[in-house]
Amino acid sequence: MDNNNPDKQFFDLFMIVMGSLVAITFALFLLASYISGKTQEVHILQDSYYEAEVNARIAPVSQVALDGAAIENAGEVTKIEPVATMLSGPQVYNQACVACHGSGVAGAPKTGDAAVWGSRIAQGNDTLREHAINGYQGATGYMPPKGGRTDLSDDEILAAMDYMLEQAR
């Protein structure tokens, strides 16, 4: 070593310290890997509850049978039936009809106003049903088909119409 060059002395000492720190870090990493391999990982991977949970999470949601092939061990097959609940007249009225018939929007006869409903009732139930289901445009206003709720069945619309007619009598 050249004692006259302080930069060279510093660089040599710095390299020794850095090399020692890298060696210590590498040794600690190997020690930590060895210890964790003997403890944590072994216990987790061999735990039957853990294995069951992992298998349940990665299990396929369903299986497909092609060409009529039977699926072995498919388990119970559940057929989901659509819920077919028909809304009552007051329910349909409150969900769809009240927006126009509650306040008389676009010439709609207000619910409970017997004077306005009288001329419509006089046309007969067949005409009223036709207008309720298929819509109507006349001098007094506009009624869209099914009041704009084409997702409702004809029976639900007619139940709401009957409810409004009861209120007008």
Same domain, 51 and 103: no
Does 124 map to a domain? Answer: yes
Total domains, the chain:
2
Same domain, 104 and 155: yes
Token readout for 151 is 């997702």
Largest CA distance in the chain: 122
Does 108 map to a domain? Answer: yes
Query: What CATH code is carried by the domain that includes residue 106?
Result: 1.10.760.10
Note the pLDDT tens digit of each residue in 19-78.
999 999 999 999 988 887 776 666 666 677 778 888 888 888 776 665 555 555 555 656
Give pTM, 2 decimals. 0.50
